[in-house]
Amino acid sequence: MNKTKKPNFTILFFSMILGIFMAGQLKQNIPILTPVTLSSIQATKYEINSVNKEIEDIEKLTMQRTEQLQILEGIALGDEDIIDILDAELENNKIAAGFEEVEGPGIIIRMEDNLAETAFGEEFDFDVIHDIDVLRIINDLRGAGAEAIDINGQRVLSISEIKCGGPIIRVNGKSLGAPFYISAIGDPKLLNAAINAPNTYAYALRTIDQLNIETTIEDHIVVPKYNGRFNFLYAKPLKEGD
């Protein structure tokens, strides 16, 4: 009797130890161990990068906010004059909105129609610069981080139209004729790449349609301010507390 009981209890005891370990394993919530594929590594990499970027942005925002807080504290203590601060802010807003002349490094793009006798194809249409060409190039520049853009002296803002007007294009209601000089302020390397790198739109225009597109990198470009008048007729700010 004694001999038969003992093994059972030993087994019971060790089964309990095993059960405890199993419970520990259950509590781990182990994700299913599938083999890591290259694409999943890539996806995780992108995820990490985007999260890191987010963190950076948030840190920048925190810095900005602390600066603002310091300014406000300065006002509260009477160290700084509120009018000076408001003036500075007005200036900042004007620059951001494009109502101030700005200067800086960037590139100038010269776009001209295909002037060769033997034009591309039979269609005359392929040899001239269209509004859509200018639009796409400006979009490429914006994608490359351009901060201020003008076409033949017309500042391109968020409200600016680029429209076909027969032999000319219309920007900000003004008629512009070829050749078009597009100046953009930003990182000159990036902007240059956005125009000259293979498989960009400008590259296609230059190599296929054989339009004359030349870029020059400049250290000092002046982009004029928007010289129209602009008032919102329909859009009204949504006031808090209304």
What residue ranges bind other proteins (CB under 8 A)? 6-28, 30, 33
CB 33, min distance to other proteins, A: 8
Among residues 17 and 76, whose Cβ is nearest to other proteins? 17
Q: How far from each other are the two terminal CA atoms of the chain, in whole angstroms?
A: 88
Nearest-CA neighbor of 138 among 121, 152, 151?
151
Q: How far is the CB of 3 from other proteins (least distance, A)?
A: 8
Q: Residue with structure tokens 């295909």?
A: 114
Minimum distance from CB of 87 to other proteins (Å)? 58
Could you tell me which residues are beta bridge partners of residue 8? none
Site of tokens 């310091």:
70
Instruction: Name the residue nearer to other proteins (CB basis): 20 or 208.
Output: 20
Single-letter amino acid, residue 202:
A
State the nearest-atom distance from the C-beta of 11 to other proteins, in Å. Answer: 5
Rank residues 15 and 44 by Cβ distance to other proteins and give the closer one: 15
Looking only at Cα atoms, what is the longest distance across the chain? 114
CA distances from 123 to 42, 118, 231 (A): 46, 11, 42
Tokens for 138, please give them: 């400006």
Q: Name which of 14 and 46 has its Cβ closer to other proteins.
A: 14
